[in-house]
Amino acid sequence: MANKVKYGLKNVYYAVATDDGTGKLTYDTPVAWKGAVSLSLDTQGDTNNFYADNIIYFTSTANNGYQGDYECALIPDSFRSDVLGEDLDDKGFYVERSGVPTVEFALLFQFEGDESATRHCLYRCTASRPAVNGATVEESIEPQTESITLTAMPRINDEVVKARCPQTSASYNTWFNAVVEPTTTTA
């Protein structure tokens, strides 16, 4: 039976992407990103209407991916190093430097549902640096979360943006072991 509702973001992973020079991406083994709080991505791309005969005669829509925020308990040091380019110096400091480019990655995650948990992959993502924030402890300890802005773009070589994997897929049980490539063709 199909889901009627979704809830429960969990099983977030990232996998560093490497471009072979032609736009084709290969991916490292996915790394678990514990502490998922929320993921909110808005679609990117315009809808253009062409009018003729006093009506909308033709509509074109561009799929430029998604952009939005991922909120988590803490951004792991591995992500800061692997994706955001922070380097570990000989004193054990994670150092952020200007001019260091971020690295593209795949983002894998799961939403629970009333019937089945659907797994997702955004194949070509970039991330902004997180803001620095905190608050004093008052009567009780209130955990502070961290957020990054994500941009998920179409891949250059095949224009794939995202895949959803239902429980009925043969890839479901191994979804987080490696980034699974879809078998799609471009129009």
What pLDDT tens digit does each residue of the chain (187 aa) get? 576 777 889 999 999 999 998 889 999 999 999 999 999 999 898 888 889 998 888 888 888 899 999 999 999 999 999 999 999 899 988 898 998 989 999 999 999 876 788 999 999 999 999 988 888 888 888 888 999 999 999 999 899 999 999 888 999 999 999 999 998 655 5
What's the pLDDT score for residue 103?
Answer: 95
The amino acid that residue 76 corresponds to is P
3 state DSSP class of 167: coil
The amino acid that residue 152 corresponds to is A
Kindly state the tokens that stand for 47: 């809808």
The amino acid that residue 104 corresponds to is E
Kindly state the tokens that stand for 61: 């829509």
What's the pLDDT score for residue 120?
Answer: 95
Determine the Cα–Cα distance for residues 126 and 114; give it in Å rounded to an integer. 31
Close Cβ partners of 49 (under 8 Å, ≥ 6 residues apart): 56, 58, 59
What's the pLDDT score for residue 114?
Answer: 60
Which secondary-structure segment (H or E) carries 80?
helix 77-82
Q: How far is CA 53 from the centre of its chain?
A: 42
- Half-sphere exposure of residue 121: CA atoms within 13 angstroms, side-chain side: 26
Determine the Cα–Cα distance for residues 175 and 165; give it in Å rounded to an integer. 8
The amino acid that residue 32 corresponds to is A
In terms of Cβ atoms closer than 10 Å to its own Cβ (0-12, 13-18, 19+), residue 85 is middle
Domain range annotation of the chain: 6-145+158-174
